[in-house]
Amino acid sequence: MTQNPIPTARPVSPGTAKLREKFYEQFAAQSEQMDKLAGQLITLELAIPGLYAAVLKLVQGEKATLTANNWLYVAFGGWLLALLFTLASLIPRRWDVDPTVVKGDPASDRPVLGLEDYFLKSAQHKRRLLIPAILFFWVGIVGAAVLVF
């Protein structure tokens, strides 16, 4: 009797192999996509308050002063918080990763992550910071709009 393994499944088709490859590439690139989003948010978070102040100066001319009321604090406070959250998402975080493990055991007490866990946790961490950044940015826009009208 031979000890050769008995084939039980068909080999993976080239199309399926390519789909799997693209899936894992996309999965691993989630954190990079969050970094690109953060870069675009920083551009907006720096440009919008500057444009807002410039438009107020153009519209009001020499009398380009605003009384400091709650809506002014809401607008610029929201923009400042949005910028801080966005910058925090770009600060590298140290993760304990075991490169020999693809997916960690959830029942394990080890704080070390597997490769798949690392990509997931990294993207989740950035998303948890970028969602409040977006919300604070919109709070700033609403505050600025109420201030003008």
Q: Tell me, yes or no, whether 38 lies in a domain.
A: yes
Helix (H, G, I), strand (E, B) or coil at 97: strand
The reply to whether 4 falls in a domain is no
Given a contact cutoff of 8 angstroms between Cβ atoms, the answer to whether 137 and 82 are in contact is yes
* Tally of domains in the chain: 1
Is position 3 within any domain? no
| pLDDT band for position 52 (cuts 50, 70, 90) | confident
pTM of the model: 0.79
pLDDT digits (tens, 9 = 90+) for 66-90: 677 898 899 999 999 999 999 999 9
Residue 129 belongs to some domain of the structure: yes
How sure is the predictor about 2, in pLDDT bands with cuts at 50, 70 and 90? low
pLDDT tens by residue, 101-149: 888 777 777 678 888 888 899 999 999 999 999 999 999 999 999 987 7
Which residue range forms the structural domain that includes residue 69? 16-148
CA nearest neighbour of 136 among 91, 67, 84: 84
> Is 41 part of a structural domain of the chain?
yes
Q: Tell whether 122 is covered by a domain.
A: yes
